[in-house]
Amino acid sequence: MAASAWADGRIETVFIESGDEAVPSREVRVWLPSGYDEGSARYPVIYFHDGQNVFRPGGPFGCWFAEDAAAVEMKAGRMREAIMVAIPNNEADIGKARITEYQPPSDVNPRDPQRGNGICDRYARFLLEKVKPAIDAKYRTLPDRENTAVAGASMGGLVSLWLGLNTDAIGAVGVFSPAFWTSPNFTKSVMEGSKKDGLRIYMDMGTQEKGNLTGDYWKDALAVREALLKQGYIEGGDFLWNPGEGDEHNEKAWAKRLPVALRFLLPAP
């Protein structure tokens, strides 16, 4: 384990063994709020996918600067104090392995059909049976569903929604710029499904996000939003739609919208 300090809070690294060759073991980064060492309080946890982009210095495509956004929101009293965990993706084979890892098993990788169906169910087991227990054991967390959130962008947004709808461990999901075009069968199941009680859904999309291969980011997200509202999710209640005016599909846009998501995922009392 290694640690590094920032102006607000600190970041530690923890290596997590997977036990599943399809979902490699990896090092996760854990951000602890500034008051963590000063008492005995327990904290809710947000797990981020594509974790190499979440904290500074970020990855090759940019950074969310999540530690800065969280520190500001917590100090302003708009967000509960929380622990944030950044889980890096499987970057093998120029991103194709990442798509498979985050894709629902009902669909086939559109960039490389020979890979077969998605394995996000196996990634979910890694997150919920390996990563989460390790974090709960090492840190003072509130491990129940109500205090556990996941968030990610593009395929990370897709797998966040899958986790919220298909497991009973997640109470809130941050679905940034979801890549519904990659997984039409899953998208159809979401639109034809029913409301998941106790689940809070944050979803967004930039107005300048273009279609990719076979779909349209914006139109797909609007269609799913309409379906979720028809199922009984309440805008401003357990559902928040946060369009990004002029935003494209990149880390800069997600960093811009992150503060609003943090306030919704873990709102201050």
pLDDT at 3 over 80: no
CATH number where 32 lies = 3.40.50.1820
pLDDT of residue 6: 46
Look over the chain and give the mean of its residue pLDDT values, rounded to a whole number: 93
Q: Determine contact, residues 102/89, Cβ cutoff 8 Å.
A: yes
Q: Where are the beta strands (DSSP E) in the chain?
A: 2-5, 10-16, 26-32, 45-48, 83-86, 148-153, 172-176, 200-206, 239-244
More confident residue, 30 or 8: 30
In angstroms, the CA 268 to CA 76 distance is 10
pLDDT confidence band for 2 (50 / 70 / 90): very low
Write out pLDDT tens, residues 179-190: 999 999 999 999
pLDDT of residue 86: 98
Instruction: Tell me the percentage of the chain whose pLDDT exceeds 70.
Output: 94
pLDDT at 212 over 70: no
pLDDT at 45 over 70: yes
In angstroms, the CA 223 to CA 187 distance is 10
Q: What is the mean pLDDT of residues 225-244?
A: 97
Closest CA to 48 of 162, 156, 194: 156
Please count the structural domains in the chain.
1
Instruction: Please spell the DSSP secondary structure of 58-91, one letter per residue.
Output: -BTTB---HHHHHHHHHHTTSB---EEEE-----
pLDDT of residue 169: 97
Write out pLDDT tens, residues 94-125: 567 899 999 999 999 887 888 899 999 999 99
pLDDT of residue 211: 63
Q: Determine contact, residues 123/158, Cβ cutoff 8 Å.
A: no
In angstroms, the CA 227 to CA 194 distance is 9
Q: Which domain holds residue 145?
A: 2-265
What's this model's pTM, rounded to 2 decimal places?
0.94
Closest CA to 97 of 67, 119, 82, 80: 119
pLDDT confidence band for 93 (50 / 70 / 90): low
Strand order in the sheet with 200-206: 2-5, 10-16, 26-32, 83-86, 45-48, 148-153, 172-176, 200-206, 239-244
pLDDT confidence band for 5 (50 / 70 / 90): very low
Region of poorest pLDDT, from 47-51, 114-118, 154-158, 264-268? 114-118
